[in-house]
Amino acid sequence: MEDLMKDRIEQLVDYIMKWCLWQFHSRTWDRKRQNEGILTKTTQLLCKEPVEHETPEDKCYWVDAVVLAGSFKSTYPWLSTLDNEEIKRLMQGLKDRIDFLTITGSLNQELTDPNY
Amino acid sequence: MPYHEFECSKCIPERKMHAVIKGPGEDLSMALPLGYLNTIPGTISERGCAYCGAKHVIGTPMKDVIHMSHGPIGCTYDTWQTKRYISDNDNFQIKYTFATDMKEKHVIFGAESQLKQSIIDAFKAFPKIKRMSIYQTCASALIGDDIDAVAREVMEEMPDVDIFVCNSPGFGGPSQSGGHHKINIAWINQKVGTIEPKITSQYVINYVGEYNIQGDAEVMVDYFRRMGIQVLSTFTGNSTYDDLRGMHRAHLNVLECARSAEYICNELRKRYGIPRLDIDGCGFKPLSDSLLKVGMFFGLEKETQALIDEEIARWKPELDWYAKRLKGVKVCLWPGGSKLWHWAHTIHDEMGVEVVSVYSKFGHQGDFEKGISRCEEGALAIDDPNELEAIEAMKTLKPDVIFTGVRPGEVAKKLGVQYLNAHAYHNGPYKGFEGWVRFARDIYNAVYSPIHQLAGLDISKDEISVDQGFSTRRMISDVNLSEEEANTSGERPYSGDYDCVTKLRGKTYPIPLAKQDEVLSGAV
């Protein structure tokens, strides 16, 4: 079961790393903000929960999340077999992995530069 | 992901940390090339300098500006006309280049008076041009000329002119990328917010990090306008100086080349609260997703989807014609910064091309994170390669074609490898749906050029076939296609115009913008 979850998370990671740019902002604080903002909204969309997009910042996360959620659904049919609890666990695992690859496990030495 | 050591660079062991092979099942936490560091002594870098990065890449595409280098004549000459960032005002910014022509006596006695006289002379020679950018060079920086003070003095004496000063000498960073950074920050500090732009829409963007190479920006701006969006400025291709002073009034910054222009987007977000949306303008899927995101931001999904459907219906059959013939073509993707990752996945996905290597002379580690993520397993990623390393890579990887700049491109030709100009393009624009087909057409023409086949033969020793008088690209490219594959109904080679940009100029967008004007004026 755990292997299946891990395999599915890796499929989603591959999609993001190949087709998205938002996870690669240039500083740690930006990457944290981007990963949190977009993946939280993507989870809400996949779970058919309300998503805030009133402020310009939220709206910007939301458009990335809408396209990502749509791509996930069309690329990975198994997503439709999951209930909301399973989707949330899956997406938390995805966020942990993306955070690792782009922030905590990243070898990019510029991430901690205090200036833009 | 193991680091890769070139045979030719074994005598420079530090180079090993600058190249990585993407292995099966490996990820970015295992290895990443070093990047954006000072060039290692002993390796002959092909990088540009920070002055070039500021002036040639970012400053000069501004179209209604006298671009003046405060330095020796060679600095301005060597950053003149090699990038085709065209404009709709008869290419003023490409036609002319200006320098203060510093000599030894100026180094000894100072060149401020020479600078002031040059500024006045240039404005007098082009009386219709009222805007100027002055670029510091190594020579003027080292002697400490106060360019800002001279510019202020001239602006007081000539109140109808405005001058921007960019202090980014050649030594101001490891590569041209240092200059990108400096001019971004200088522009927002000195000029953004000094003019109030005319807002004609409820939907206003800056299109940032786009330099209108052979019309790329004009193609994309046409899309945005068709969606009903006002493009306040393009940073900096085909933009006016004053458009860029009004960047602070946009609702969204749409960022194309994050390598050269993320700095100003980040600052606009911090100072003015304008969000940053990174997009891909290359490839049908990435471009469609990108346009949809911008459309959704403003509630224009319907208009955007209609545009995407129309463009794909028109151009997809032509992309398919090339994709069939490009499948399996091996390419070294060796461009500047952003095309490394804008192209890596989508040329593979949409044209079937195999990317065997990515490199950048000035990319940062962030660019390699994106590029390595997007290319397939086995690809060799190299930071700041020297010429010998590039030659070794070509000999071992045996690519069919290289996408790179003029200098390494000419070296590739000597090795019998075709190259496409990834910086200034061969027959661009390459952005947009039609542009993507033009790019596929140029790859096809490079790979299957009959002269390229002949150029690889040495008449002094190779056997020359005499049973065939001539060959064409089709005869070479279609050898492995069945009759049915080669003649699939509906598929065709590129059928657009030689010049697909000029017709966009002066085009009107009456319906959506007119509606918005009514909304803005309160008539609706």
**Angstrom distance (rounded) from CA B75 to CA B103:** 12
Count of structural domains within chain A = 1
Q: How buried is A78 (Cβ within 10 angstroms: 0-12 exposed, 13-18 middle, 19+ buried)?
A: exposed
Say if residue B513's pLDDT is above 70. Answer: no
Q: Each residue's pLDDT tens digit in chain A (116 positions)? A: 789 999 999 999 999 999 999 999 999 999 999 999 999 999 999 999 999 999 999 999 999 999 999 999 999 999 999 999 999 999 999 999 999 999 999 999 999 998 88
B369 to A108: CB separation less than 8 angstroms, yes or no: yes
- For tokens 């009514």, the residue is B518
Identify the weakest region by mean pLDDT among B223-232, B336-345, B390-399.
B336-345
Would you say residue A116 lies in a domain? no
pLDDT digits (tens, 9 = 90+) for B310-319: 999 999 999 9
> How is residue B503 annotated by DSSP?
G
Structure token digits, residue B129: 């041009």
Q: How buried is A19 (Cβ within 10 angstroms: 0-12 exposed, 13-18 middle, 19+ buried)?
A: buried
State mean pLDDT over B403-421: 93
pLDDT for the residue B27: 93
- Chain A stretch 27-66, residues whose beta carbon is closer than 8 A to a beta carbon of chain B: 30, 56-57, 59-60, 62-64, 66
**Angstrom distance (rounded) from CA B4 to CA A113:** 27
Total Cβ atoms within 10 A of residue B524 = 9
The residue ranges of DSSP E strands in B211-345, in sequence order, are 230-236, 252-255, 276-278, 330-333
Minimum distance, in Å, between the CA of residue A41 and any CA atom of chain B = 14
pLDDT for the residue B470: 80
Strand partners, B163: B132
Pairing of strands B380-383, B19-21: antiparallel
- Written in H, E and C, the secondary structure of chain A is CHHHHHHHHHHHHHHHHHHCCHHHCCCHHHHHHHHHHHHHHHHHHHCCCCCCCCCHHHHHHHHHHHHHHHHHHHHCHHHHHCCHHHHHHHHHHHHHHHHHHHHHCCCCCCCCCCCC
Nearest to A27 by CA among A106, A95, A91, A93: A106
**Angstrom distance (rounded) from CA B333 to CA B384:** 13
Total Cβ atoms within 10 A of residue B407 = 12
pLDDT for the residue B519: 47
Residue B98: HSE in the Cβ half-sphere, 13 Å Cα cutoff: 24
Would you say residue A41 lies in a domain? yes
Helices B284-297 and B339-351, packing angle to 10 deg = 120
pLDDT digits (tens, 9 = 90+) for B428-454: 999 999 999 999 999 999 999 998 878
Rounded to whole angstroms, what are the CA distances from A38 to A34, B291, B297? Answer: 6, 18, 14
Would you say residue A114 lies in a domain? no
CATH code of domain B315-486: 3.40.50.1980
pLDDT for the residue B524: 34
A30 to B266: CB separation less than 8 angstroms, yes or no: yes
Taking the alpha carbons at both ends of chain B, their separation in whole angstroms is 60
Chain B environment of A101 (Cβ under 8 Å): 27-29
Range of the domain at A27: 2-104
What CATH architecture applies to the domain B204-278+500-521?
3-Layer(aba) Sandwich (3.40)
Average pLDDT along chain B? 94
pLDDT digits (tens, 9 = 90+) for A92-109: 999 999 999 999 999 999
Domains of chain B by residue range: 50-178, 204-278+500-521, 315-486
What is the Cα gyration radius of chain B? 24
Chain B environment of A29 (Cβ under 8 Å): none
**Is the preceding peptide bond at B286 cis, omega within 30 degrees of 0?**
no
**Angstrom distance (rounded) from CA B202 to CA A33:** 27
Contact, A67 vs B289, CB < 8 A?
yes
pTM: predicted TM-score of the whole model, two decimal places:
0.96
Nearest to A65 by CA among A26, A29, A95: A95
Total Cβ atoms within 10 A of residue B272 = 15
**A interface test, pick of B253, B373, B383 with most A CB neighbours within 10 Å:** B373
Contact, A45 vs A35, CB < 8 A?
no
Task: Name the residue type at position A20.
Answer: C
What percentage of chain B carries pLDDT values higher than 70? 97
Say if residue B512's pLDDT is above 60. Answer: no
Q: How buried is B23 (Cβ within 10 angstroms: 0-12 exposed, 13-18 middle, 19+ buried)?
A: middle
Nearest to B139 by CA among B183, B170, B175: B170
pLDDT for the residue B522: 44
> How is residue B56 annotated by DSSP?
I
pLDDT digits (tens, 9 = 90+) for B91-109: 999 999 999 999 999 999 9
pLDDT digits (tens, 9 = 90+) for B273-285: 999 999 999 999 9
- For the stretch B48-73, what's the b/e string if a residue is b when 16 or more beta carbons lie within 10 angstroms of its beta carbon? bbbbbbbbbbbbbbbbbbbbbbbbbe
- For tokens 């900096």, the residue is B236
Please report the sign of the dihedral spanned by the C-alpha atoms of residue A89, residue A91, residue A93, residue A99.
negative
In this prediction, residue B510 has a pLDDT band, given cuts at 50, 70 and 90, of low
**Angstrom distance (rounded) from CA B387 to CA B393:** 10
Helices B387-397 and B406-414, packing angle to 10 deg = 50
> How is residue B39 annotated by DSSP?
P
A56 to B29: CB separation less than 8 angstroms, yes or no: no
Identical fold for domains B50-178 and B204-278+500-521, yes or no, is yes
CB of B31 less than 8 A from some CB of A: yes
> How is residue B54 annotated by DSSP?
I
CB of B26 less than 8 A from some CB of A: no
pLDDT for the residue B516: 52
Which chain B residue is nearest to residue A66, measuring alpha carbons? Answer: B293
Total Cβ atoms within 10 A of residue B287 = 24
B370 to A18: CB separation less than 8 angstroms, yes or no: no
CB of A109 less than 8 A from some CB of B: yes
**Is the preceding peptide bond at B194 cis, omega within 30 degrees of 0?**
no
**Angstrom distance (rounded) from CA B400 to CA B156:** 58
Structure token digits, residue B7: 């045979």
Q: What CATH homologous superfamily does B50-178 map to?
A: Nitrogenase molybdenum iron protein domain (3.40.50.1980)
Residues in chain B, how many?
Answer: 524
**Angstrom distance (rounded) from CA B107 to CA B143:** 6
Would you say residue A112 lies in a domain? no
Residue B485: HSE in the Cβ half-sphere, 13 Å Cα cutoff: 12
**Angstrom distance (rounded) from CA B54 to CA B135:** 8
State mean pLDDT over B26-35: 93
Structure token digits, residue A83: 């209930």
State mean pLDDT over B296-322: 98
A19 to B289: CB separation less than 8 angstroms, yes or no: yes
**Angstrom distance (rounded) from CA B232 to CA B248:** 10
Contact, B447 vs B347, CB < 8 A?
no
Helices B432-447 and B301-326, packing angle to 10 deg = 10
Would you put residue B25 in left (φ > 0), alpha (ψ -120 to 50) or beta? left
